[in-house]
Amino acid sequence: MVSKPTDSASKPRTQPGESANDAIGTLSFKINQLKKQIQAERVVYIKEKIQRNGKKLQCHMSGVMSAISTRGSSQTEGNRKIPILSSRIDHPLCKFNGFSSVSGDKDHNNQDALSATSIKIPCIERLPPYTSWIFLDRNQRMAEDQSVVGRRRIYYDQHGSEALICSDSEEELTEPEEEKHEFSEAEDRVLWMAFEEYGLNDEVLNIVSEFVGGTSLEIQERYKSIKEKNIGRLDQPSENSGQSESTIGICPEKSLSAALDSFDNLFCRRCLIFDCRLHGCSQPLIYPSEKQTVWSDPEGDRKPCSDQCYLQVKVVKCLSEDSNSCGAEQNKRTTIMEETDGVLASSIIEEPSNQSSLPFPSDVDCHGSLNLNVPILVSVEKRKVTDQSDTTHCDPKLPPDDSQNSCKKLKTISDDVVTVNSDSRKDINLCARDVLDKAVKHNSDKLIESSSTFHSDEPDKSIGDGPKDPTNKTEFKKLSNSMEGKVDGMISLSDWKPLEKELYLKGVEMFGRNSCLIARNLLSGLKTCMEVASYMHSGGVSMPHGSIIASSSIMEDKGKFDVECTDQEIPSRSRLLRKRGKTRKFKYSWKSAGHPSIWKRIADGKNQSCKQYTPCGFVQKAAKIGLEDAIVPRVNAEVDNAHALLQDGNVTQMSVGIAGCGDGSLGEPPRRGEGQCGNMRLLLRQQQRILLAKSDVAGWGAFLKNPVNKNDYLGEYTGELISHREADKRGKIYDRANSSFLFDLNDQASISHHLHFLLSCLAYVLDAYRKGDKLKFANHSSNPNCYAKVMLVAGDHRVGIFAKEHIDASEELFYDYRYGPDQAPPWARKPEGSKRDESTAPQGRAKKHQSH
């Protein structure tokens, strides 16, 4: 199948002048032929399949046959009681003769008379229904009924005979249409044949799409994938090797911000999940305004975190000062050499073929054999050995100019080596420390000897090391010369990749100048404690606090730095940095990093005053920044409302001013005229008792149980958070509902005004039509006694209802829906307006859904 089209594929290419019509004509003919062939094949296939199945079935049924023919046999042994049924066959109750001829119109046997002889089956009591209750979908008490997911809502216009079908979301309806076409094998064949022979162009595509399902785009994609598959089949091995190499984890050359980009973008820090639906992606990062105390360990009692801890070096230094001035350096060198040797020796063991011919395994060989083992093991020591072995490995062999290059090459190699041989290397390390202790007391010459003997003592490497010891010795001597003075540099400053540097800076930010913690928590597998320490000392950035500036300067480089932030507020919130990606759209509100701690405090029962409640303050500031960036729609409820009103027609919104703790003004201390921060009450749900009763105005109304003072918090207005798009759609439905049966249904009267709260700087609308609390029943009044305020509570926008004036107990609550001049329903204009006589079909429908 593959070869055939390629033969003919050359034809159209050689004759490009061939008229398109001809080509297309033959194409459809060919496709038709192919189709017929496919169909014929299908018929044969089915036939074969059915025959095979039939044979199998026959086999089974003969087995069943033998089973059923022995039914009575078990009985014959014991009680050979012949069933009455058998005897009845010989003596039936009655017999009806068959028709003798075809005509038999009159022949009509009637069996009714027989009922006298029938045996009674006694009544049995039915089970009460509750005993047979089983878990069914419809037996669940679920909110599903209230949601309209997958359901169509139809509203009938009473006056016009118009029916409006409103599906809750268009996506649901369009989804099945957008379902991806699954290409069958036959369609693949047609595709392949057509495009291989006639090339991929529009005309061919048109014809093909007549025969093959799916959109033309899908067809093209499918063709590509088939092509890839066919190509892939030919040279599969090369593809595989390419893939295996590309699967390497993090790239240390990237910067930290780049590495964290997807995390910053997709991770919702409030919900602690990726791709949070509610808060969206690309949430701006907020850094805590309070300076977090650095995790500090009293350095005195610190124990070495590992044998590569910088504290070890200190110990060694002390020792060396006692005995010999240059002892410490020698020590260092020795350990390095030993480990290098260990590494090399073990790599030789890996490759017995090389050991006889070459004093050192050549890097190519090493690569070839060991690169297959993809390194996964991450250990603190690994890195160290890598670096050191790099240096030792290359220096003697190569001229100094090339050493840097080859080092880089070899890095991966020796990584592998180390990974593979990590076990043996650990042994070496242990022994190395012993040697180290001894070495302090010996001079440098002996030291080398002891190290090499130590290697020959190693049982693992006896084979490889035996013949090599002499060479090793000499190599090491050279090595020690060439490496003089280099060692320190290699350890401290070489190859700190940008990512590592940034991680280090973060570490300093978090842990202070504690290289143990930094190395363990942030650079594990990348750098050792000692390296971190030396990096720290080598002035590598002498800045525990300046680190932030450094990191911010990195951001500045990329043009993402928030200028305003640094300009005005550096002293108070130097860390209030915000990063934004290139195409990030600002979708949702600010999150407070201090949020969990608030909750904790609340849980502890401490009454929290606003002053301590820092999140409010800085969230406000953050919001300010967002505004000035002009990425966020301006935090202005009125503007958005007006817009939405235009779209929604009769749908009304309650417009509310955004108010944070401090009424939104930057830098202003929270207003404490009301005694307590409003959002805390919202957060703690310290609301007034609201009663639900028949309103004096229309439908249901909300009443207050206890008297409240002016500006007292009454409760939260809750509902579904829906998008603007959804709100528009629902608006149409509610609009309909309003005009058609608002007055017929007293139950619905007050809710069908369906308050929408626009949380304006978000892309969300609060809809209390289906779900909400009792406060949604409060009616409209042009002279209200309540007002609503959108507040930022722990980073979320919530709507609080407050008393506009002193309200007595059991008074009805009103707020101003801000109806447009024509939008207000009649009852809002003239309160005693309507009749409630007819009960209509929509009422039944509404009741069925139990939405209120």
Q: Binders of another protein among 403-462, rule CB under 8 A? A: none
Among 16, 80, 135, 300, binds another protein (CB under 8 A): 135
Residue selected from 13, 80, 126, 830 as contacting another protein according to rule CB under 8 A: 126
Binding piece for another protein, criterion CB under 8 A, among 88-96, 350-358, 717-725, 727-735: 88-96
DSSP letters, 18-85, are: S-HHHHHHHHHHHHHHHHHHHHHHHHHHHHHHHHHHHHHHHHHHHHHHHHHTTTTHHHHHS--PPPHH
- The residue (of 70 and 583) whose beta carbon lies closer to another protein is 70
* CB 141 to another protein: min, Å: 16
Residue 243: helix, strand or coil by DSSP?
helix
Q: Binding string, 197-226, against another protein, x = CB under 8 A?
A: --------------xxx-------------
Q: Which residues pair with 792 in a beta bridge?
A: 797
Measured from the CB of residue 40, what is the shortest distance to another protein in angstroms?
11
Indicate the burial class of 364 (C-beta count within 10 angstroms; 0-12, 13-18, 19 or more): exposed
Pick from 799, 744, 747, 797: which is nearest to 777 by CA? 747
Contacting range for another protein; rule: CB under 8 A; set: 101-109, 409-417, 710-718, 730-738: 101-109
Residue with tokens 């006589």: 837
Query: Among the candidate windows 94-102, 279-287, 454-462, 718-726, which touches another protein by CB under 8 A?
Result: 94-102
Choose the stretch contacting another protein; rule: CB under 8 A; options: 126-134, 170-178, 533-541, 551-559. 126-134
Contacts with 111 (C-beta within 8 Å, 6 or more apart), sequence order? 94, 96
Site string for another protein, 163-192 (x = CB under 8 A): -------------------x-xxxx-xx--
Label residues 808-842 b or e (16+ Cβ within 10 Å = b): eeeebbbbbbbbeeebbbebbeeeeebeeeeeeeb
Cβ proximity to another protein, 60 vs 689, nearer residue: 60
Q: Which of 13, 21, 137, 263 binds another protein (CB under 8 A)?
A: 137
Q: Which is nearer to another protein, 67 or 165 (CB)?
A: 67
Q: Does 136 bind another protein (CB under 8 A)?
A: yes
Question: CA of 216: how far to CAs of 180, 213, 253, 601, in Å?
Answer: 12, 9, 42, 60
Is residue 1 near another protein by the rule CB under 8 A? no
Size of the site for another protein (CB under 8 A): 83
Residues 19, 117, 236, 583: which binds another protein (CB under 8 A)? 117
Pseudo-torsion of CA 520, 521, 525, 531, nearest 10°? -50
* Strand-strand pairing, 690-694 and 700-704: antiparallel
Angle between helices 469-483 and 327-350 (to 10 degrees): 130
Residue with Cβ nearer another protein (80 or 848)? 80
Which part of the chain contacts another protein (CB under 8 A), choosing from 93-101, 389-397, 519-527, 782-790? 93-101
Stretches 111-119, 275-283, 346-354, 688-696: which one binds another protein (CB under 8 A)? 111-119
353 to each of 350, 365, 371, 397, 410, how far by Cα in Å? Answer: 9, 10, 17, 20, 20
Nearer to another protein, 65 or 603 (CB): 65
- Residues of this chain, 46-85, that bind another protein according to CB under 8 A: 46-47, 49-51, 53-54, 56-58, 60-61, 63-65, 67-69, 71-75, 81, 83-85
Q: Are 433 and 307 in contact (CB under 8 A)?
A: yes
Residue identified by tokens 């590592």 is 500
**Shortest distance, CB of residue 143 to another protein, whole angstroms?**
18
Determine which residue in the list 3, 86, 246, 325 makes contact with another protein, applying CB under 8 A. 86
CB 425 within 8 A of CB 342: yes
Question: Minimum Å distance from CB 65 to another protein?
Answer: 8
Q: Quick check: 253 and 497 in contact, CB under 8 A?
A: yes
Kindly tell me the burial class for residue 656, based on how many C-beta atoms sit within 10 Å of its own C-beta (0-12, 13-18, 19 or more). buried
Is residue 404 within 8 Å of 390, Cβ to Cβ? no
Residue list 21-40, contact with another protein (CB under 8 A): 35, 38-39
Give the shortest CB-118-to-another protein separation in angstroms.
3
Compare residues 2 and 40 and give the one whose CB is closer to another protein. 40
Residues 293-332 that bind another protein (CB under 8 A): none
In the complex, least distance from residue 841 CB atom to another protein, rounded to whole angstroms: 25
The 10 Å Cβ neighbour count of residue 88 is 10
Considering the rule CB under 8 A, would residue 142 count as an interface residue with another protein? Answer: no
> Considering the complex, what minimum distance in angstroms separates the CB of residue 749 from another protein?
36
